[in-house]
Amino acid sequence: MRKPLLLAVLLSVTAMPAMANLQLAQKNNCTACHAVDRKLVGPSYKDVAARYAGDKGAEAKMAGKIKAGGSGVWGPVPMPPNPQISDADVKALAKWVLSQK
């Protein structure tokens, strides 16, 4: 296999989980209030990742916030609960949000 083709294949495979999780966020209407790199109604995913960087319990905290909602951490606008999102999807979303740099 040629190097450029191999590189293209590797890049597409490594980008797939990120794209899938962005699509998961879009599917669950997370992107109505959040964007990757700028504040909308709620904080950007990058700001969330920066705030929780180094926090070993961040993934569980984030999953809990996604599922149960919350308020007061980022200002007066509450985040609504999302009980309809499966636990597996909540975990994937939390992990993805925290991976944003």
Q: How confident is the model at residue 20 (pLDDT cuts 50, 70, 90)?
A: confident
> What is the pLDDT at residue 8?
46
Q: Are 93 and 85 in contact (CB under 8 A)?
A: yes
**Across the strands, what pairs with 70?**
79
Length, in residues, of the chain: 101
Higher pLDDT, 15 or 45: 45
Q: Residue 49: which of 41, 33, 37, 65 has the closest Cα? A: 37
Token output for 31: 């992107």
Annotated binding site for heme c: 30, 34, 79
Domains observed in the chain: 3-98 (1.10.760.10)
Residues 54-91 pLDDT 10s: 999 999 999 999 999 999 999 999 999 999 999 999 99
Summarize the annotated binding site as residue ranges. Answer: 30, 34, 79
